[in-house]
Amino acid sequence: MDRSTEIREFLRTRRARITPEQAGIAPHPGARRVPGLRREEAAQLAGVSVDYYIRLERGHTRGVSETVLEAVARALQLDDTERAHLFDLAQPTAARTRRKRPLAPQRVRPAVYRALESLSVPAMVLGRRMDVLTANRLGYALITDFEARPHRERNAARFVFLDETARTLYTDWERVAGDCVATLRLYSGRQPDDPQLTELIGELSLHSGTFRRMWADHDVLAHTTGTKRLRHPLVGDLTLDYVVLAVEGDPDQTIVIYTPEPASRSAEALNILSSWTSTSTAGPHAPDETHNPAS
């Protein structure tokens, strides 16, 4: 992905969402042809010259200091995730060149497999690009049996946008879809030279107008906690809280665990789903079994 285009569109969309009044400055005189702040106003808020800000927004980041990036982040009222994304996009060219070596395949550690097997609630391991590396038995039963799909299709974003069952499964599908896009956008800032990411974005853009619209928003999201509402074909409506845990030693690998409120209708439904799947042999494969983790 072209970083000049990425940083230009990211800064433009962040600038467009803030009015001068929200920023606490007097609007520049004259008709406003664009929503939000003008470049001149963004430069004023950041304490840099207009020419410097225009160059930055055009993607010319060579030699830009952390102090300037911090000032721009404050001026555009970026949250912590957006600020980190801005720094990723504005990294020095030399650092980006050093990281262009192929990404090593991701592998799930034996201890993580055992941890998933020990849980009585749905859980899965997500890797780069929202690849589903593995899940426990209840995780597959809750969402879909990713393990039964070709390796290329074991991806949460592909499922959400390209599988019609996802629209039925997720009660608030639009929000889930937006979260997927924002998560991929954040990852793209860290790994812009990932060819499989480029392929994934191309495929989703080709087949989903909703994805194209959301991708153009340049929103970013770092999943930590939240709530999912589902309409499961076997046990009906579920409301589950989730928490995202980092896997030590692999910053692009996370464990997602879903839990219901105790003694709730959702807890009862999960118990029923668990009993229906308890006799299945499906579950997380240990590393010494036939399992080819996504790279």
Q: 167-179 burial string, b = 16+ CB within 10 Å, else e?
A: eebbeebeebbbb
Q: What end-to-end distance do the CA atoms of the chain give, in Å?
A: 19
Instruction: Kindly report the pTM of this predicted structure.
Output: 0.88
Residue ranges per domain, the chain?
A: 3-98, 110-277
Which uninterrupted H or E stretch holds 256?
strand 250-259
Q: Which CATH number fits domain 110-277: 3.90.1150.10, 3.40.50.1370, 3.30.450.180, 3.30.70.20?
A: 3.30.450.180
Contact 121, 259 (CB under 8 A): yes
Neighbouring-strand partners of residue 144: none
Q: Which of the four CATH numbers 1.10.260.40, 3.40.50.620, 3.60.21.10, 1.10.3720.10 does domain 3-98 have?
A: 1.10.260.40
Give CA–CA dist 220/187, Å, rounded: 9
CA distance 191 to 208: 23
Q: What is the pLDDT of residue 292?
A: 44
In this prediction, the residues of the chain whose per-residue pLDDT falls under 50 are 93-94, 281-282, 287-294
pLDDT (0 to 100) of residue 285: 55
CATH fold match for the domains 3-98 and 110-277: no
- Residue-wise pLDDT tens digits, 7-35: 999 999 999 999 888 988 887 777 677 77
Structure confidence by residue, pLDDT tens digits, 214-237: 999 999 999 899 999 999 999 999
Quote the pLDDT of residue 288. 40
Confidence (pLDDT) at 287: 46
CB atoms < 10 A from the CB of 77, how many? Answer: 13
